[in-house]
Amino acid sequence: IDEDEIKKKLSNTKIIQSKKFFLQEILFEIKEKEKISEKYQKIKNEIFNSSFGKAALLYSLSDTSTNNGNIGWINQSSLNQNILKKINVLNVGDISNPITVPGGFLILKIKEVKIERKNIDIEKELQKIIQSKTNQQLNQYSLIFYNKIKKDILINEL
């Protein structure tokens, strides 16, 4: 996390206009003989035939799967640049193509977007952004570690 870069972005202005997204997610992985396009098509069909929440419950590896895939309100400054590029071209209600992330693939849906204007306390905002980015990195590391352990363990039933 580059604190200097974040400080530089924040110090440019005292009033910021922040864009927030209410996001839903489905995090999935591909098994050895599956193709990403086939798995994505299955998930997409479930979304259109039922709902995003049901598809998240069926296919998502994320903890949010039990909550209809709802991540909640995320400030655009807290998002990974790769993910931000992908969702900035989406409209409300659209779903993204699979985004490669450590631990699998991610499908995002924008449920709502809001733009807020506010005066900022640079130090508080800096701490929020650092905390958010740290949490993202820790989640990615834990998924990578989990997948490594899952791959290395073989359970034989009696």
Q: What is the per-residue pLDDT across 50-61, written as a single tens digit (0 to 9) for each?
A: 888 899 998 888
* pLDDT value of position 16: 63
Band of residue 18 on the pLDDT scale cut at 50, 70, 90: confident
**Six token digits for residue 84:** 């931000």
| Per-chain mean pLDDT for the chain | 84
Contacts of 84 (CB under 8 A, 6+ apart): 76
Report how far residue 53's alpha carbon sits from residue 107's, in angstroms, rounded to the nearest whole number: 12
Q: In terms of Cα–Cα distance, which of 142, 155, 154 is closest to 104? A: 142
Report how far residue 103's alpha carbon sits from residue 108's, in angstroms, rounded to the nearest whole number: 15
Quick one: DSSP state of residue 66? G
Report how far residue 13's alpha carbon sits from residue 56's, in angstroms, rounded to the nearest whole number: 39
Cα three-residue angle 91-130-100, rounded to 5 degrees: 45
Percent of all residues in the chain with a pLDDT value above 90, rounded to a whole number: 7
CA-based R_g, the chain, Å: 18
Say what the alpha-carbon torsion angle 102, 147, 143, 94 is, to the nearest 10 degrees. 60
